[in-house]
Amino acid sequence: MKLLVVCEFRFMRTPDGKTWTTSAFAHGFWERYLVVFDEVLVVARVNQAERKDPQWVRADGEKVTISALPYYVGLAGLLGNLFKLRGIARRHSQHADAILFRVPSQTAMLTIPCHGFGSKGYALEVVGDPADVFAAGITNRWLDKVLGWASASMLRYMVKRAHSVSYVTQAYLQAKYPARMSCTVGHYSSIELPDNWFAPFPRKYLKPATRILFIGSFGQLYKGQDVLIRAIAQLKNQGVTLNLTMLGDGVYLQPMRQLAADLGIEKQVMFVGEVKAANVREYLNAAEVFVMPSRTEGLPRALIEAMATALPAIGTFAGGIPELLPPERLYPAEDIDMLAQKLVELCTDLHALNADSARNLQAAADYRKDTLVQRRTRFYQSVAENSRKLEK
């Protein structure tokens, strides 16, 4: 049985026809679908590259094919390639036995309303909230409101017409984008944490914490990097010195370096850039507190990975973060004063540090690989079964 998967990620293709990724959606990711389906066809944006970067990893391979959509960027690029996108998606859907969209997806938003995919129908994996993304600001204020409303409305439309829907959250996305009563519904994270990722026991704090860690892309400021840097600067002005390590790369990396310098904390903030997934663990082990100051989130992988290493953590009320952290470790996104206060409260309280370390390690156990694989496989089996039923 052939599964068509549509996602919004951007891949690279070298002249030898091989497709590559910087980190996410490597070949190993697609193997989760091969537990149920015989082959997987991924439809996504692909850019041509003259040569392979040493940091890239293979995305396609055995039983996994990646078909290229036009490599557009931004709203203008999307509109300019509208008919090509629709044509490619329609053509591939005719040769697939089951169809699954990872949403939010611009391709899905443009394709589903004008083409119901015949008798097969389609399934969705809801991995984020477009309304939150636009609320965080990516164009300008009035356009963000229009696009946020349109994207959220379209996602509700898609969810109501899908035969199977899974969510990365336990309740947050389900409440905003509810499925119909007859729909098969599941929930699971995209994260697969093997047993060796988990700390064997909680951390033991004998002195206040001073080493703070942030992990996230600098491609946008959705992750609230500027808020965290300003909170660290505010604490310095109050006589509290915290050292911040930031992992991630993107166009806003240099502006954030400049912000730290302008605020006089360039010696307290270490910008590491992009780090291979295999090396992230060493930074988690060296840190004492993890902070996720996100303006928008689904269910954040980085936070779960940090919790699995028994790190105490602070986060915002965005997306699925409140499903992971207790209320006393949450604050409203954008609130620099509150973040600074939360950092002082946690970092100077040895009892809280030790208690949170134990709590987070226990909470992360819900995201062990074997637990999620079982839940996810059951959903994919339902996708296959529902697709067969609809074709009869």
Q: How confident is the model at residue 349 (pLDDT cuts 50, 70, 90)?
A: very high
pLDDT at 381 over 80: yes
Q: Which residue has the tokens 């949170």?
A: 356
Q: Are residues 142 and 47 part of one domain?
A: yes
Check whether the bond before 312 is cis (ω within 30° of 0). Answer: no
pLDDT at 190 over 80: no
Question: Which amino acid would we find at residue 381?
Answer: Q
Give 150 or 224, the one with higher predicted confidence.
224
CA neighbor of 124 nearest in space, from 106, 88, 153, 99: 99
Q: Are residues 203 and 349 part of one domain?
A: yes
pLDDT at 217 over 70: yes
Q: Are residues 373 and 361 part of one domain?
A: no
What is the number of domains present in the chain? 2
Mean pLDDT of all residues belonging to the chain: 91
CB-CB contact of 239 with 342 (8 Å): no
Question: Which amino acid would we find at residue 128?
Answer: G
Q: How far apart are CA 284 and CA 149, in angstroms?
A: 37
pLDDT at 139 over 60: no
pLDDT at 302 over 70: yes
Q: What is the pLDDT of residue 113?
A: 59
Reduced to 3 states (helix: H, G, I; strand: E, B; else coil), residue 385 is helix
Q: Are residues 295 and 338 part of one domain?
A: yes
Tens digits of per-residue pLDDT, 53-93?
998 999 999 999 999 988 877 777 777 877 787 778 778 88
103 token code pair: 């949403």
Q: Are residues 380 and 338 part of one domain?
A: no
CA 17 vs CA 26, 53, 66, 67: distances in Å? 16, 15, 10, 11
Q: How far apart are CA 304 and CA 174, in angstroms?
A: 20
Q: Are residues 131 and 58 part of one domain?
A: yes
Provide the domain limits for residue 169. Answer: 2-188+369-391
Q: What angle do CA 328, 332, 336 make, to 5 degrees?
A: 100
Q: Are residues 211 and 155 part of one domain?
A: no
Q: What is the pLDDT of residue 59?
A: 97
The average pLDDT across 133-153 equals 75
Q: How far apart are CA 86 and CA 90, in angstroms?
A: 6
Q: Are residues 220 and 359 part of one domain?
A: yes
The average pLDDT across 114-121 equals 61
Q: Are residues 380 and 320 part of one domain?
A: no
Q: Are residues 212 and 160 part of one domain?
A: no
For residue 27, the domain's CATH number is: 3.40.50.2000
Q: What is the pLDDT of residue 134?
A: 73
Q: How confident is the model at residue 170 (pLDDT cuts 50, 70, 90)?
A: confident
pTM: 0.76
pLDDT at 259 over 70: yes
DSSP H stretches of helix in 121-185: 130-135, 141-161, 172-176
Report the share of the chain in percent with pLDDT over 90. Answer: 68
Q: What is the pLDDT of residue 81?
A: 77
- Spatial neighbors of 181 by CB under 8 A, at least 6 apart, are none
The average pLDDT across 332-357 equals 97
Residue by residue, DSSP assigns 314-365 as EEESSTTGGGTS-GGGEE-TT-HHHHHHHHHHHHT-HHHHHHHHHHHHHHHG
Q: What is the pLDDT of residue 144?
A: 76
Q: Are residues 246 and 107 part of one domain?
A: no
CB-CB contact of 160 with 122 (8 Å): no
Q: Are residues 147 and 207 part of one domain?
A: no
Q: How far apart are CA 168 and CA 300, in angstroms?
A: 9
Contacts of 90-94 spanning 24+ positions with Cβ under 8 A: 90/115, 92/4, 92/41, 92/43, 92/67, 93/4, 93/117, 93/118, 93/120, 94/118
DSSP state, 286? H
- Please name every residue paired with 247 in a beta bridge, in sequence order, or none if there are none: 215, 273
pLDDT at 357 over 70: yes
CB-CB contact of 380 with 38 (8 Å): no
